[in-house]
Amino acid sequence: MITSNNHNYIQVGYQAPDFSAVAVYEQEFKQVRLSDYLGKYLVLLFYPLDFTFVCPTELTAFSDMYSQFLSLNTEILGISVDSEYCHLAWMQLERESGGVGDLKYPLVSDLTKKISLSYNVLNDEGKSLRGLFILDKEGIIQHCVVNNLDFGRSVTETLRTLQAIQHVQNHPDEVCPANWQPGQSTIKSTPVHAKEYFKSI
């Protein structure tokens, strides 16, 4: 497995760039460091700006399903280029007014834009694109998807992908086919066993 990246770009299979920054969680400021999450799976949610339109729908949707991520030994970090004070004000605003309320995971301040730049999601306007990265327990990027500003991401697809990642890591002789869901058949990664799967579909 490739674990170090000597290139200036993000790629699946490489170690995620570490960072340390101020975050808001439970109405308090706290310092978070990516390496503190080693030993758990981690979803990084980059989003453009607080007090916008699509962003609160994404962040609250992930918060509402947070317990399902937690049951899979997975944490979530939201990240934008706003300050921690802006994050706090947004979290103190109710959902009905366009706020996000009390999220169940931290919002990280990337005011310097260094984190967004290191993950290659900073656009020319200085906003973070909708980048989503799933890191495994070793901090290796296993999945990434980047949406443009105007459309949100799927929480259920993120969960499905996370479950597929965990399945193949726990069963290294298996791979997951398209649209795989937990409990469905996988493919044994040998030519003979693969043919058995293909005959069954």
* Residue 86 is a catalytic residue: no
CA angle 163, 164, 166 (to 5 degrees): 65
Return the structure tokens found at 188.
Answer: 């044994």
| List 55, 86, 144, 176, catalytic entry | 55
Give the containing element (helix H, strand E) for 145. Answer: strand 141-147
Radius of gyration of the chain, Cα coordinates, nearest whole angstrom: 18
Locate tokens 């490489």: which residue? 14
DSSP letter (8 states) at residue 99: -
What is the spatial order of strands in the sheet that 107-109 belongs to? 28-33, 20-25, 107-109, 74-80, 41-46, 130-135, 141-147
Q: Show which residues are catalytic.
A: 55
